[in-house]
């Protein structure tokens, strides 16, 4: 009887160790941008017809790879856990830009939406801070296109320039300018740049 129990315990421990080893290997692969290999089944996760994440089910664990989540890779022992791809922009505490070391004085496409494009000017990086964590503007835009309006409301002052092209406005922040196009031709593009950026030629033109 004791021998049988011992064999059973050894078998259980061996299975647990095997699960741990396989899980660690797959987690390391996922963090290195590779697909987990010791998986039983995988499932695609969609939100509003958009692929959000892929869930990989292994032996006693689940790994979630989600490029649109705050944590790109999530490991869930015994399949328990959760992950979130929605980012609430109501709690943004700061708006940060990193200026380009060398500026070619040209607008660069940063993000494309259905009815507008967002460009940067002389910038390397745009981030917003929430809960002491810096998250790229692209990540926020993916879930909440209205974050631009919240940036204008929270991080620009009343010193604006308006133009008679239909309603384009240049907003001014502490260390950045934001041009919100609204032309008669229907251009609604956004330009975000350093304090030297204005309403330059070719800005707000339909391409």
Report how far residue 118's alpha carbon sits from residue 163's, in angstroms, rounded to the nearest whole number.
19
Report how far residue 29's alpha carbon sits from residue 75's, in angstroms, rounded to the nearest whole number.
12
User: What pLDDT is stored for residue 139 in this prediction?
Assistant: 82
CB atoms within 10 A of CB 63: 24
Nearest to 60 by CA among 85, 81, 83, 79: 79
Which two three-digit tokens encode residue 158? Answer: 């009343």
Query: In tens digits, what is the pLDDT along the chain, a chain of 207 residues?
Result: 677 888 888 888 888 898 899 999 999 999 888 899 999 999 988 765 667 788 999 988 999 988 767 677 889 988 887 766 555 555 678 899 999 988 998 999 999 988 899 999 999 999 988 777 788 898 888 777 788 988 998 899 888 999 988 899 999 999 999 999 999 989 999 999 999 999 988 899 855
User: What pLDDT is stored for residue 62 in this prediction?
Assistant: 92
Residue for token digits 């956004």? 190
User: What pLDDT is stored for residue 147 in this prediction?
Assistant: 87
Q: Which own/partner contact pairs does 148-151 have at CB distance under 8 Å and 24+ positions apart? A: 148/118, 148/178, 148/180, 148/190, 150/89, 150/90, 150/92, 151/92, 151/95, 151/178
What separation, in Å, do the N-terminal and C-terminal C-alpha atoms of the chain show?
81
Sign of CA dihedral 128, 197, 104, 187: positive
Report how far residue 174's alpha carbon sits from residue 15's, in angstroms, rounded to the nearest whole number.
58
Sign of CA dihedral 50, 83, 86, 94: negative
The pTM for the full model equals 0.60
User: What pLDDT is stored for residue 81 in this prediction?
Assistant: 77
Q: Torsion over CA of 121, 141, 157 and 204, rounded to 10 degrees?
A: 50
User: What pLDDT is stored for residue 3 in this prediction?
Assistant: 76
User: What pLDDT is stored for residue 202 in this prediction?
Assistant: 85
Give domain limits for the chain: 2-77, 89-193
């Amino acid at each position: 009887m004791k021998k049988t129990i011992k064999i059973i315990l050894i078998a259980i421990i061996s299975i647990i160790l095997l699960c741990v080893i396989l899980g660690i290997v797959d987690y390391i692969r996922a963090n290195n941008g590779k697909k987990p290999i010791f998986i039983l089944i995988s499932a695609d996760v969609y939100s509003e017809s958009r692929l959000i994440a892929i869930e990989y089910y292994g032996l006693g664990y689940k790994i979630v790879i989600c490029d649109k989540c705050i944590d790109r890779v999530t490991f869930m022992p015994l399949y328990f856990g959760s992950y979130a791809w929605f980012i609430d922009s109501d709690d943004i505490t700061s708006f940060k830009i990193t200026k380009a070391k060398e500026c070619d004085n040209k607008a660069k496409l940063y993000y494309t939406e259905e009815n507008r494009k967002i460009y940067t000017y002389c910038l390397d990086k745009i981030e917003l801070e929430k809960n002491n964590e810096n998250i790229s503007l692209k990540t926020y835009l993916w879930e909440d296109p209205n974050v631009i309006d919240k940036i204008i409301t929270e991080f620009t002052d009343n010193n604006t320039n308006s133009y008679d092209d239909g309603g384009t406005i240049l907003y001014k922040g502490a260390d950045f300018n934001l041009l919100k196009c609204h032309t008669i031709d229907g251009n609604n593009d956004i330009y975000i740049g350093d304090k030297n950026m204005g309403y330059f030629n070719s800005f707000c033109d339909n391409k």
